[in-house]
């Protein structure tokens, strides 16, 4: 049998990770990305220990290890600056510290690991058709491609998901809108990673590994709400909150070392899980399979997990349909539990009635940090399947084993 060929629809984090993982398992890969350039949207991503282990398992640990990891504990605050909770540092419990990077940095690292000629920019995937002899014909804007397997990593509005599961209701508005920006960290003190909860509003601060600061804000709002001036809206909502939030908001208007882009998006999710993550020789991953709210910071991390599990199963001795059925078995339950958990977290954060907010804050304060930390074990303690190189990398070698049952912790 010759070298098998996989077509990946979508050049985001999940699609690129899948392409790298498959290529290192001996597959020939073609990545079709409809955008004309891989820019990586102007926002940050926290690579939690589960995602870092997944990247390490396919040899990408060194590619994402530049700069400083997230130091110390993570925290939750109130608008006056009081701490509601602080959880322990991830390195001491999971063997590897979380690392926050610009999405563009991660996209560049993944693209650089692709085989030459694998990436086709400006090419969109419109659909797939079964072909004879166990192959798939992929219809693209640049013509047809023949593949042994297709990876649908084409995002929240996945065209391939719509073709494969036409009766699924698709994305649902999650009740919140959000803003994101990456700011210069020059002249700022060392900032702890923290999220502040108000009444139906949140503000998050995440120091990036390169010294910049990723900030985000959310507010309960109706779908399609579009303020005339996003900077003014953020100052109106959060300008009187605790330091350093006002100082960070002032940096939104700076033009040096470069203009700041404020991204604004409504939050959507696949509230109804798909019946499975595959159909024939097509597998869905990332947002195409299980788009979730960002409340746990696991959307991109789960796409990375999907990718390494899928590549591992496709490299086994079974045929493609059997491998993809095993992929559904491995990923559907876990991602559904995480999505639901993220939704519940968002419901808590969105509370706006003063009594409900007071009860919520009291409950968070009263919960011991050890209980909160243990509640993350099934999420962050996940271990990837063996990589193509059986020799452990630095993150694997240093990881402390955590006794975890694959069940959602309440």
- Domain spans in the chain, listed from the N-terminal domain onward: 5-74+85-172+268-381, 173-266
Contacts with 275 (C-beta within 8 Å, 6 or more apart), sequence order: 165
Based on the number of CB atoms within 10 Å of its own CB, is 392 exposed (0-12), middle (13-18) or buried (19 or more)? middle
> Is the CB of residue 371 less than 8 Å from the CB of residue 68?
no
Contacts with 169 (C-beta within 8 Å, 6 or more apart), sequence order: 272
In this structure, the strands spanning 74-77 and 194-197 are: parallel
Q: What is the per-residue pLDDT for 291?
A: 98
Based on the number of CB atoms within 10 Å of its own CB, is 165 exposed (0-12), middle (13-18) or buried (19 or more)? middle
Q: What is the per-residue pLDDT for 22?
A: 98
Rg (alpha carbons) of the chain, rounded to whole number? 21
Cα torsion 301, 307, 313, 319 to 10°: value is 150
Contacts with 131 (C-beta within 8 Å, 6 or more apart), sequence order: 137, 146
3-state secondary structure of 32: strand
DSSP 248-276: HHHGGG--SSSPPPPEEEEEEE--SPPS-
pTM higher than 0.85: yes
3-state secondary structure of 368: coil
Q: What is the per-residue pLDDT for 136?
A: 97
CATH number for the domain whose boundaries are 5-74+85-172+268-381: 3.50.50.60
Question: Which residues of the chain are modeled with pLDDT < 50?
Answer: 390-410
- Domain 173-266 matching CATH 3.40.50.300: the answer reads no
Give whole-number Cα distances, 307 to 73, 151, 201, 325, 406, in Å: 29, 9, 33, 15, 19
The CA distance from 126 to 288, in Å, is 14
């Amino acid at each position: 049998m010759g070298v098998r060929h996989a077509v990946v629809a979508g050049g985001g984090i999940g699609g690129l990770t899948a392409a790298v993982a498959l290529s290192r398992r001996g597959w020939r890969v073609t990545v079709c990305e409809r955008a004309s350039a891989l820019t990586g949207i102007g926002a940050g991503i926290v690579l939690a220990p589960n995602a870092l282990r997944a990247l390490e398992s396919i040899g990408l640990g060194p590619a994402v290890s530049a700069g400083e990891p997230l130091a110390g504990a993570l925290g939750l605050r109130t608008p006056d600056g009081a701490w509601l909770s602080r959880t322990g540092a991830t390195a001491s419990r999971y063997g590897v510290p979380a690392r926050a990077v610009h999405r563009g940095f991660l996209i560049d690292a993944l693209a650089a690991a692709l085989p030459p000629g694998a990436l086709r920019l400006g090419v969109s995937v419109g659909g797939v058709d079964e072909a004879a002899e166990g192959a798939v014909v992929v219809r693209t804007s640049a013509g047809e491609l023949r593949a042994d397997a297709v990876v649908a990593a084409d995002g929240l509005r996945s065209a391939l998901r719509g073709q494969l599961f036409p009766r699924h209701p698709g994305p649902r508005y999650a009740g919140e809108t959000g803003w994101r920006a990456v700011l210069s960290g020059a002249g700022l003190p060392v900032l702890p990673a923290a999220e502040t909860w108000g009444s139906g509003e949140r503000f998050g601060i995440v120091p990036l590994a390169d010294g910049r600061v990723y900030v985000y804000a959310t507010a309960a709002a109706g779908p399609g709400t579009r303020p005339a001036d996003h900077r003014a809206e953020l100052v109106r909502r959060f300008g009187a909150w605790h330091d350093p939030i006002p100082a960070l908001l002032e940096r939104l208007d700076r033009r040096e070392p470069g203009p700041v882009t404020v991204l604004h998006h409504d939050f959507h999710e696949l509230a109804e899980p798909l019946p499975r993550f595959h159909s024939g020789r097509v597998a869905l991953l990332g947002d195409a399979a299980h788009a979730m709210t960002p409340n746990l910071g696991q959307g991109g991390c789960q796409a990375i997990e999907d990718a390494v599990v899928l590549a591992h199963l496709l490299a086994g001795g079974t045929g493609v349909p059997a491998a993809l059925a095993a992929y559904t078995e491995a990923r559907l339950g876990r991602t559904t539990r995480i999505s639901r958990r993220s939704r519940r977290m968002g419901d808590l954060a969105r509370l706006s009635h003063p009594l409900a907010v007071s009860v919520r804050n009291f409950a968070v304060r009263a919960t011991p940090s050890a209980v909160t930390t243990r509640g993350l074990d099934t999420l962050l303690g996940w271990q990837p399947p063996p990589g193509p190189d059986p020799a452990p990398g630095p993150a694997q070698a240093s990881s402390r084993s955590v006794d975890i049952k694959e069940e959602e912790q309440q």
